Amino acid sequence: MLYSPVWSSAVMIPRYIFKKVGLFSVALTRGEDLHMWAKIALRYRVALSPEDGAIYHLSSDNRACNSLIEAEDVAIASAIEEFMKTGDVPVSSWSMAQECLAYRRLQLAKYHFLTNNKKLAYKLLHKTNEIRLYRKKRIILKFVFLFIPIPFVNIIVAIKRCVIK
């Protein structure tokens, strides 16, 4: 559902960075790797190589993305919000971190709406109100959530996927 530029099994991080930012969160049931990468990226410069450095097999039966998502918020939310409270200056800009968080929240809101969890979808939409970049997308999603029945939205999504392929 949500694209991640970081894949846990293909990341190299010096041990001292883990000592500074802390270890993986045991409180999260999903997205603990994204949470960790957000904590690191806010404090340190990271590089993303366009070269293939690993092979990722999509055929595994026990992949987390094969199960339903029940999360109330995206995994990176707590890392970004906790860092904002410290008052430290992030390596990347605040607006970039907020935009990333808003984008992921909108994606998760869309997912929750399509799985008939409207209450959580609205809660996530509300959390993105301060971000101007996705204002139009948020307005469209609110309109769809309010006025278009879920089965019809699922048909539209299926058609869109067929057209894109």
The mean pLDDT values, 10 residues at a time, for the chain of 165 residues are 55 86 82 83 74 62 58 81 77 74 86 85 84 77 79 80 75
Of 79, 16, 74, the closest CA to residue 42 belongs to: 79
118-139: pLDDT as tens digits: 888 888 888 887 777 777 777 8
Handedness of CA 158, 139, 143, 108 (dihedral sign): positive
Please give the model's pTM, rounded to 2 decimal places: 0.65
Residue indicated by tokens 């539209």: 156
pLDDT, residue 16, reads 92
Which is it for the CA torsion 90, 94, 99, 102, positive or negative? positive
Which helix (H) or strand (E) covers residue 42, if one does?
Answer: helix 32-43
User: What is residue 35's predicted lDDT score, i.e. its pLDDT?
Assistant: 84
CA proximity to 80, closest of 127, 119, 17: 127
Predicted local distance difference test score (pLDDT) of residue 1: 42
Of 161, 125, 131, nearest to 146 (Cα)?
125
CA 13 from centroid of its chain's CA atoms: 21
